[in-house]
Amino acid sequence: MKNDYDFIRDKFDNSGVNAPEKMDANFVLEKLGGENPKVVEIKKVKPYKKYSLVAACALFLTVAVAGTAVFRLSKTPASSAGTTITRDGKSAVYQFSDKGEVIDLVKRINENKPKPEYSLMEDVADSDTKYAVSYEKSSDAAGGANTHGDTYTQVEGVDEADVIKTDGRYIYVARDNDLVIYSAEGKNSKIIKKIKAVENSKLDEYISELYLNDNRLIVIYSNYRQVSDATSDEADSDYYESFRSETRADVYDCSDAKNLVKLDSFTQSGSYSNSRMIGSRLYLVSNKSDYENRKSPLPYVCCGTDDIRELNATDIYCVEEPSSADFVVVSEFDTADKNAETVTKSVLGSSGEIYCSSENLYVTGYTGGYRGLWLFDGAYIDSKTSKAYEDTGKTQIIKFSLKDGVELVSSAKVKGYINNQYSLDESGDTLRVATTSTDKKYRDENNLFVLDGQLNQLGSVRGFAKDESIKAVRYVGDTAYVITYEQTDPLFVIDLTNASAPTILGSVKISGFSSMLVPIDDNTVLGIGYHTQEEDWNDEMEIEEGMKLALFDVSDKANPKVLDSKIFKNYYSNVQYNPKALLRNEERGSFTVPYDRDIISDNDDYDEEYGAITFSVKDGKISIDQQDKTDLEISRCTYIGDTIYMVSTYEDNIDCAQYK
């Protein structure tokens, strides 16, 4: 797979442990932790830079766990943790009353944490193979009627951070340790400013993502700070506790991009997980590892140049059966008002994907799984109980209200794991969640749950698409479009009109699979994803051989049809796993995606071609409008006026082409 650095970063950012190179172990853990994986070989990952000492420590911890073991996450009852503040019918949420309660529960969780055991399934985690992780987003608001490109987002009015932003005059790019600002002058574009993150023996810092809002540039940093002189010869617990991860948001006045003025700063403990922005309010989500300072485990924050402040115990919560002693930290920070109160809440557990509407924030995490799993006569057996494996994997959902700061509302669990943030959707007072789980015969199956405002389950459709897993979901009103995949790409249409009885109306199959769904109009949905073909030596294995566009007619929801498709063999694009790489120009009715093409000659000489493909959908057909080549290995495109800018997050150059 080409242009895959963003893929690695996205998955590692969601794992709860960050490092500058962000090698992903969380996805492997998640798949091994409750699923019978199907392996789809794609491409080897390109090597990326050296690891710094501090970042390598955090990386080693995660990769070591992923490569050697499978866990059954501990179930430590939290009934004595504090006061029950709400109950959703299945899962209580507790609020702590003092610091001692927090420390005591963290200690009990760590004492109950099982040691890793080897599993026959660990052989699946081949370091030369990347797993197909579909990651799709859709937005009716993306692009808009502006004269410049915007980040493709999920919910109208809720902005999302990305590695590239533009205000129509300048292009801002986060490039690992650098913030690079370009003047937008077509072929004469040049770097006008560069800000470097800090990197030394005590502090390893990199720039994660950016926001632009009313002449304010918000730069989100992740860092690992050495806070003691512990060495690798010391006990592992002491070694890892000598490092501290933090997430920081710096606010700059960028009205004069050549002379940025720093206005404000906010720091919270934990590695950066995700964020959203509504107006000037930034919502930061981070994961504080339980390996960091167990003697005083409470999360902390720091506003501006103030000293760090531990959270009050009453701002920390716990679900009924916390799966780890990590902390999810969620803050609301007003980037336009230095005097506005910053609100921070924390919950025991780790976060993965988040979903955010204009009024609520949902943080998800995977719990459950198995340990000591081994294969016996075609069945997976638990070595501790000698019983057949039963999938206990669930997605924990924690709901926060954003109406008045950040207030925890409720918590619930649903069976299986979600594909990405687009597996969730809020409609009125309900939340819809699509998951993949495993049945008693160790086959993948899929589910869609509808929950009420307190996360009580209202209805569900379960067990569809056996032996396949969800690759993309898109909700449009009271209809869910779900893509699953094993060797073909079924599009399921699910009616959600009756929340207590979701119903599958129809489906259609096509080769390959879509990892992203984009609604074109009321009757048409565009799929962007992978072209696949059977492996020559094994007709039960498919390999991904490029990019594919597919257009679906959903005017008759009981009988969806494939209208058109385009195959780009040996083409790869960041958009296949990161929808932020999709550039939508509403005024032109066009889409642009970056690409990386493998060129192999008859005598096996290998070369690569880079560029951008612009296409549109008209009269039920996909039209390829133009293909622009460049010497840069680009990962994003944006536009200003009639110019398409092609931007690399690997090198300092920038290129452009004109719309035709």
**pLDDT tens figures, 81-137:** 445 555 444 557 889 999 999 988 888 887 776 543 333 323 222 323 222 323 333
Pairing of the two strands 203-213 and 394-401:
unpaired
Q: Which band of pLDDT confidence, cut at 50, 70 and 90, is reported for residue 453?
A: very high
Closest CA to 396 of 361, 351, 458: 351
Give dist(CA 550, CA 491) in Å, integer.
11
Q: Which residues pair with 460 in a beta bridge?
A: 449
Check residue 375 and give its pLDDT.
Answer: 55
How high is the mean pLDDT of the chain?
A: 79
Read off the pLDDT of residues 256-307 as tens digits, 9 standing for 90 and up.
999 999 999 999 999 999 999 999 999 999 999 877 776 778 999 999 888 8
pLDDT digits (tens, 9 = 90+) for 137-196: 333 333 334 599 999 999 999 999 999 999 999 999 998 789 999 999 999 999 999 998
Q: What amino acid is encoded at 540 in this protein?
A: E
According to DSSP, residue 659 is labeled -
- CA–CA distance, 208 with 222 (Å, rounded to integer): 6
For residue 544, the model assigns a pLDDT of: 61
By CB atoms closer than 10 A (0-12, 13-18, 19+), residue 610 is: buried
Q: Which pLDDT value is given to residue 390? A: 66
413 pLDDT higher than 80: yes
Instruction: Inform me whether the pLDDT recorded for 566 exceeds 70.
Output: yes
Q: And the tokens for 258?
A: 């050549």
pLDDT of residue 384: 63
Place 54 in a pLDDT band, splitting at 50, 70 and 90.
very low
Query: What is the sign of the dihedral through the CA atoms of 334, 289, 299 and 78?
Result: positive
Residue 650: alpha-carbon gap to chain centroid:
21
Q: What integer is the mean pLDDT of 371-383?
A: 57
Q: Which of 156-160, 356-360, 383-387, 451-455 has the lowest mean pLDDT?
A: 383-387
Please calculate the CA angle 325-329-333 and round it to the nearest 5 degrees: 170
Q: Which residues of 117-147 are buried (b: 16+ CB within 10 A; e: fewer)?
A: bebebbebbeeeebbbbbbbbbbebbbbeee
Residue written as tokens 């632009």?
Answer: 212
For the record, the structure tokens of 115 come out as 């040691």
Task: Identify the band that residue 333 occupies on the pLDDT scale cut at 50, 70 and 90.
Answer: very high
Strand 92-95 relative to strand 316-319: parallel, antiparallel, unpaired?
Answer: antiparallel
Q: Are 343 and 405 in contact (CB under 8 A)?
A: yes
Q: What confidence score (pLDDT) does residue 21 get?
A: 35
pTM of structure: 0.81
- Average the pLDDT over each of 182-191, 531-540, 550-559 and give the range with the smallest value: 531-540
Confidence (pLDDT) at 240: 54
